């Protein structure tokens, strides 16, 4: 079992600003936490973070035939990107969507997610633990 964890724009800023919403831990802490969890579950894992929509689309396309599952936090592109939705549909790799914050309890514009239309499961508002729950879905 090989999974790809994709994070979208500004997730590389975790722990630097807005700790009240996204916590105090950094992107590197997140990667380490998921990697350790995957190790315990005997799952191979790869990580990708980008601030650019097209790069995320390219990465999803490259995952075709390589990965068995995708865990994605598309960040702001959650609410805007038909391109990411289409790429996930095109590769048809089972996908779990994760949000650190509870997108249903924030601004109105965060309530709609394009990726939810293709995701097997959406996990929101559980902080970094949401990514571990997503890994467990595949385990």
Question: 87: which residues sit within 8 A by CB, 6+ positions away?
Answer: 56, 57, 60, 61
How far apart are the C-alpha atoms of 22 and 41, rounded to whole Å?
A: 26
Q: Closer to ligand CA2 by CB, 69 or 73: give it.
A: 73
81's tokens: 């990107």
| Start-to-end CA span in the chain (Å) | 8
How far apart are the C-alpha atoms of 93 and 6, rounded to whole Å?
A: 13
Short-list 94, 96, 87, CA closest to 59: 87
Q: How far is the CB of 85 from ligand CA2 (least distance, A)?
A: 15
One of 22, 77, 114, 131 is an active-site residue; which one?
Answer: 22
Binding segment (CB under 6 A) for ligand CA2, from list 32-40, 62-70, 88-96, 99-107: 99-107
Binding mask 7-46 for ligand CA2 (x = CB under 6 A): ---xx-xx-xxx---x------------------------
Active site positions, annotated: 22, 99
Give the binding site for ligand CA2 (CB under 6 A).
Answer: 10-11, 13-14, 16-18, 22, 73, 75-76, 78, 99-101, 103, 110
């Amino acid at each position: 079992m090989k999974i790809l964890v994709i994070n979208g724009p500004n997730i590389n800023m975790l722990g630097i600003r807005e700790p009240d919403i996204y916590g105090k831990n950094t992107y590197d802490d997140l990667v380490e936490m998921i990697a350790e969890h995957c190790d315990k579950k005997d799952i191979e894992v790869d990580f990708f973070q980008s601030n650019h929509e097209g790069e995320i689309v390219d990465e999803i396309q490259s995952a075709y035939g390589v990965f068995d599952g995708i865990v994605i936090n598309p960040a702001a592109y959650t609410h805007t990107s038909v391109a990411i939705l289409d790429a996930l549909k095109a590769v048809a790799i089972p996908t779990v969507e994760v949000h650190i914050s509870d997108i249903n309890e924030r601004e109105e514009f965060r309530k709609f997610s394009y990726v939810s239309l293709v995701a097997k499961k959406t996990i929101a508002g559980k902080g970094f633990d949401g990514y571990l729950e997503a890994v467990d879905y595949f385990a």
